[in-house]
A and B are shown apart, each in its own frame.
Chain A
Amino acid sequence: DVKVTQSSRYLVKRTGEKVFLECVQDMDHENMFWYRQDPGLGLRLIYFSYDVKMKEKGDIPEGYSVSREKKERFSLILESASTNQTSMYLCASSPNWDTQYFGPGTRLTVL
């Protein structure tokens, strides 16, 4: 069974803090993704990575950066958290450009 884990289920941070969200997959997948999900807007792609040290911007990369130093780990960084980044963050991995496997999500609140 594919397993995608995320470092925290719930996180509360203050405006201006630097925030790290970690995602780890155990199936040697090439591709990894970060989404945010907001009511009425669905899942929106922030960044994705198709190989170690490779990254591509998604639809809403502003205010975020990512790091993929190892194949199994994909980190999302909020350089200076803002209240409009309060959201559910979902990580996914994929062995090809077909099925995506999601982690349980991190519900981030920025005060």
Chain B
Amino acid sequence: RKEVEQDPGPFNVPEGATVAFNCTYSNSASQSFFWYRQDCRKEPKLLMSVYSSGNEDGRFTAQLNRASQYISLLIRDSKLSDSATYLCVVTNPYNFNKFYFGSGTKLNVKP
């Protein structure tokens, strides 16, 4: 079973829409959680960390549900520039806090 699973998409949404992605993880001991963004043919970059209490950064909101072992990312008022692949990342504290990446969810925001 994969450590991290994501719906590959693509999610095709119009500008201004609200869109949400979920990501499930298999190791209940996972400690840290992140969303990374990867543009086409570019390297991944940290979008935001995900805290137990949830966190918000402008139009982006991340939530953690430990009981059901998933994290979510909500994007409000989508912009064309939000088009990218969003990678979910969790760490394993029993293995050098190794990072496990999901294979990503592709988002296309259309005019």
Contacts and interface: CB of A to CB of B under 8 A. Distances in A.
A41 B2 CA distance: 10
Interface stretch (B9-17, B63-71, B97-105): B97-105
Contacts of B1: none
Nearest to B6: A42
B96 A105 contact: no
Give the interface residue-count category, chain A.
20 to 34
A45 B91 CA distance: 12
List of 9 A-B pairs having minimum Cβ-Cβ separation, nearest first: A42-B103, A97-B97, A102-B43, A43-B101, A42-B101, A99-B46, A102-B44, A104-B43, A105-B43
Given A42-B87, A102-B45, 5 more contacts: A35-B101, A45-B99, A48-B98, A98-B32, A103-B43
Interface of B: 4, 8, 32, 34, 42-46, 49, 87, 91, 96-99, 101-104
24 contacts: A35-B101, A42-B87, A43-B44, A43-B101, A44-B101, A45-B99, A48-B98, A56-B96, A58-B98, A90-B43, A90-B44, A97-B32, A97-B91, A97-B96, A98-B32, A98-B49, A99-B34, A99-B46, A100-B44, A100-B46, A102-B43, A102-B45, A105-B42, A105-B43
